[in-house]
């Protein structure tokens, strides 16, 4: 306890932990990120939740019921890195799952890094089995956190303990694991191509024996010849009579109705189907358990860190929508997965010795089909056709542009072609303004903002514009930022048609849960608006260490004390 107090004073901590005078620091920080867990979903089905999962958090934790991301592009890497760093994308640099790199002339996948290939050969992204088309832009199988421009909380934990703190991040998605493990931890993720958990040479030269043993047991094959079936009787479900809706996506024969069969394990889509169901989260849970035991997390007086990012809610949301029978059953099964994780942590570390924080990288919209059925306007937009529009043609004629004006649209940014950017005869500011003016006339577009306006601070000071500014990074952001109308979005990603897509600044995408529990915290429910950038600052203040280098959030007083 004395060491903790002295450490807090030494780093100039202004806020001491609420338990600093009465307890030792936690043995383990368990940070859970549920991909696309909109803030209302855990309580939407609360009457059918068990006792040890969401209910443990909501009834025994500090629950923030009005928590939001404050940046405009609510995508996976953006939200995960914000949770990890306490910085906005303008600071941490991860402005989107993809961005166009003008130096190389190629679109960049956020955590790709050719310098650090995967340890497992043949585990790179297989386009035939990948439900996440953003990874297809990666030109290398290598992965690292090099593109994250600031430190994470886990980095600061390692630094404050002279490297003694153990840090592990686990997820189905590479970006879900890498962002949270930071620059100094170790990240593992699930390879759909190999059916194993993998990492890159950035982290390790070879796998620990326990990882090799886990993979040799072929964990994915345990789901061969099984099906995703409903957890409860169909009549008990809110969406029990809504199992087959025309706007849902049938991914390679996985179907739109229960039960969803995984097949015999030989299909090239087998591992993809697993991630489209609660099975993906179970695989992550099983690996996380092995990591906790074999890396001896929480086994000594130095606080360790385990990040577990569950991705099935995101995939189910994309394919079926959150307001679907699949979406409902997935939440109920995730509840059991969380209960299993908490019971395991309690057995091996003790929940009183563990500080848990749960949040989400983003929320998610309902499908236009579902909303339309209720009389709510919603639909899809097609940016790939914009360069063919008469208005864009007129702009090209006005500025003497003979070739392509638009190099790419990488959500939410429109990038002008390199030839246009390098043409000194073109007034770039005037061009941006002209494109913005015309884009604002397109169906489904709510707002278009030029990068020049953001860079010079000429944009209006509104909540929406502040969210756009928080997403702007001069070297990575495009020439025009586009915000679609509420409930309008793109559903065609390189030929993959999905039911719904997140990535907007609207409440359904920014609204996420924030809950802290364990470690002797007193239960409470807080209704004031808080931000996801506050999480990293809160964890740092709780331990009395310095906040991550780019952190802009404030420690939450209900967790760290007044």
Whole-number Å distance between alpha carbons of 336 and 102: 46
Residue for token digits 């020049």?
452
Residue for token digits 């003016």?
437
Whole-number Å distance between alpha carbons of 3 and 23: 12
Report the candidate in 561, 514, 526 with the shortest Cα–Cα distance to residue 541: 561
Report the candidate in 513, 187, 530 with the shortest Cα–Cα distance to residue 362: 513
Residue for token digits 């630094």?
159
What are the catalytic residues?
76
Is the CB of residue 85 less than 8 Å from the CB of residue 92?
Answer: yes
Alpha carbon 149 to its chain's center: 17
**What is the helix (H) or strand (E) element at residue 467, kind and residue range?**
helix 463-470
For 141, 193, 548, the CA distances from 125, given in Å and listed in that order, are: 7, 6, 31
> 359: which 2 tokens?
């949040």
Whole-number Å distance between alpha carbons of 331 and 166: 30
First-last CA distance in the chain: 19
Neighbours of 195 (CB within 10 A): 19
Q: In sequence order, what are the residues at sequence separation of 6 or more whose Cβ sits closer than 8 angstroms to the Cβ of residue 214?
A: 197, 286, 287, 290
């Amino acid at each position: 306890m004395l060491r903790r107090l002295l450490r807090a004073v030494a780093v100039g901590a202004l806020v001491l932990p609420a338990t600093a005078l009465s307890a030792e620091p936690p043995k383990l920080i368990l940070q859970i990120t549920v991909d696309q867990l909109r803030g209302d979903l855990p309580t939407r089905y609360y009457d059918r939740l068990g006792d040890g999962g969401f209910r443990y958090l909501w009834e025994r934790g500090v629950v923030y019921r009005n928590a939001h991301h404050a940046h405009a592009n609510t995508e996976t890497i953006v939200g995960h890195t914000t949770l990890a760093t306490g910085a906005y994308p303008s600071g941490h640099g991860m402005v989107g799952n993809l961005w166009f790199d003008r130096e190389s002339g190629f679109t960049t996948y956020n955590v790709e890094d050719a310098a650090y290939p995967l340890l497992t050969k043949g585990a790179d992204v297989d386009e035939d089995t990948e439900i996440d088309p953003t990874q297809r832009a990666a030109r290398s199988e290598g992965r690292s956190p090099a593109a994250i421009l600031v430190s994470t909380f886990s980095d600061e934990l390692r630094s404050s303990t002279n490297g003694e703190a153990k840090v592990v991040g686990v997820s189905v998605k590479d970006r879900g694991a890498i962002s949270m493990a930071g620059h100094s931890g170790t990240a593992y993720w699930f390879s759909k191509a190999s059916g194993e958990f993998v990492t890159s040479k950035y982290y390790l030269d070879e796998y620990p024996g326990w990882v090799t043993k886990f993979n040799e047991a072929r964990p994915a094959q345990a789901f061969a010849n099984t099906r995703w079936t409903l957890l409860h009787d169909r009549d008990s479900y809110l969406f029990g009579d809504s199992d087959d809706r025309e706007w849902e996506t049938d991914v390679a024969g996985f179907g739109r109705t229960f039960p969803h069969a995984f097949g015999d394990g030989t299909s090239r889509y087998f591992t993809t189907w697993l991630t489209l169901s609660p099975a993906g989260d179970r695989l992550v849970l099983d690996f996380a358990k092995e990591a906790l035991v074999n890396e001896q997390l929480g086994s000594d007086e130095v606080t360790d860190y385990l990040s577990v990012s569950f991705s099935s809610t995101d995939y189910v949301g994309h394919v079926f929508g959150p307001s679907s029978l699949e979406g409902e059953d997935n939440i109920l099964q995730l509840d059991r997965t969380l209960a299993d994780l908490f019971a395991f942590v309690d057995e091996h570390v003790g929940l009183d010795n563990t500080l848990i924080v749960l949040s989400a990288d983003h929320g998610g919209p309902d499908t236009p089909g579902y909303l339309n059925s209720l009389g709510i306007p919603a639909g899809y937009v097609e940016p790939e056709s914009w360069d063919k529009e008469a208005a864009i043609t007129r702009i090209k004629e006005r500025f003497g542009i003979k070739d392509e004006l638009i190099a790419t649209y990488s959500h939410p940014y429109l990038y002008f072609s390199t030839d246009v950017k390098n043409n000194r005869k073109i007034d770039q500011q005037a061009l941006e303004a002209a494109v913005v003016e015309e884009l604002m006339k397109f169906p489904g577009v709510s707002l278009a903002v030029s990068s020049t306006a953001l860079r010079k601070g000429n944009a209006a000071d509104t909540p929406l514009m502040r969210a756009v500014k928080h997403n702007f990074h001069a070297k990575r952001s495009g020439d025009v930022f586009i915000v679609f109308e509420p409930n309008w979005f793109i559903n065609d990603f390189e030929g993959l048609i999905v039911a719904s897509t997140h990535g907007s600044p609207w409440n359904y995408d920014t609204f996420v849960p924030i809950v802290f529990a364990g470690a002797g915290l007193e239960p409470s429910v807080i209704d004031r608006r808080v931000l996801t950038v506050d999480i990293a600052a809160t964890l740092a203040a709780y331990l009395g260490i310095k906040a991550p280098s780019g952190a802009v959030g404030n420690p939450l007083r209900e967790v760290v004390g007044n």
